[in-house]
Structure 1
Amino acid sequence: MIGESASLRERRRAETRRTLQAHAIRLFMARGYDATTINDVAQAAGVSVMTLYRHFTTKEDLVLYDEYDRETAAALAAQPQEEPLRQRIGRALVRTAAAAVNAERDLLLARLHLMISTPALQARHLDSQYATELAIVGTLCAGATDPDLEFRVRSTAAACLAATHVALIRWAEGEGRQDLPTLMHHALTAAFDTEF
């Protein structure tokens, strides 16, 4: 019973975050990121500023927050361990992107447009990418005894993230007309000179 109520509470919390983020993205796209205040977002969502801050600690988080790191970690855990690191990581990133496009294509596209066009978000996006790198390292290095494994995983993850970032930018600049997983496959193949 306790687990069920905690799960329900977490689902409600996630739904509230999605609703707040959707209002914020809509306002940022309509008025501009810099011209929209936290108060504007709270008012549009019908919540207090304190409620907004309970879910998003910064204005940047309203654009950058997502659950993709957790989803990438789960996709990584499902990959065959005998495959090369670059393929395991690359495929997990592609799988996560495909799920994101299927679930929330327009929101993802709007978020990317904001990240590309807003200097404050460009800088914070690097923090977000680093967090994804750490999630990958944590998943693939948990319980490892090889002292060089973290270095190899971190290097490979950073390269995969850089390649997929190029694909995400191209996808956004093309208004999402191309297939994002295909673009990511092409970017990874170009970066590593091997088929993904």
Structure 2
Amino acid sequence: MTTRALVVTSSILGAQGQSLALADHFTARSKERAALEITRRDLVVDELPHLGVDELSSWQVPAAERTPEQRALAGRSDGLIDELKAHDVLVLSVPLYNLGIPSQLKAWFDRVLRAGETFRYTDKGPQGLVEGKRAVILAARGGQYAGSELDSQTPHLKSMLGLIGITDVTVVFAEGLAMGEGHRDASLKEARQAIDGLVTTL
């Protein structure tokens, strides 16, 4: 049985980005497994615009009643949601920018976190509609933040994933990458080893 993994990258540094290097390592290891199929989406190469009111409003119009412009606008979100639902594992390759996620990744989340499609409101609060999936976060950071009050990124990502029903989340950290060559090399080696072990469980 084939497992499909969607790898979403968001580094603005291209080939120099350490989070992208982690995604590349994950992809390379995954290709060694015949039962693991990979789809890559680079949110910098295929950048989404910030969500605007016209696009948001297009979601509220029944599909059969949308204008051509509204169909095109709604199609962005529809396509990303369909892509997410078609995969078993979501892999987010995430650099840390000013203690947060890249705006490109936020634009992606703004379109896949959609009431009525990936979650719904109930009298007991939001209920996720994207169930039975795993998520992996590959987090690359210049400093050391995991487990500290400065790491607002990890809870934010887990909360957004949880909103749509993805609660099985594994985080691989590569930290201290700007704290000297020795520290960087050791941290990346540890992260790659963690990825190697993780791929065998997918």
Name the structure with the higher helix share: 1
Q: What TM-score, normalized by structure 1, do the two folds share?
A: 0.30
Higher RCO (Cα < 8 Å, 6 or more apart): 2
Q: Give 1 or 2: higher strand fraction.
A: 2
TM-score of the superposition, structure 2-length normalised? 0.29
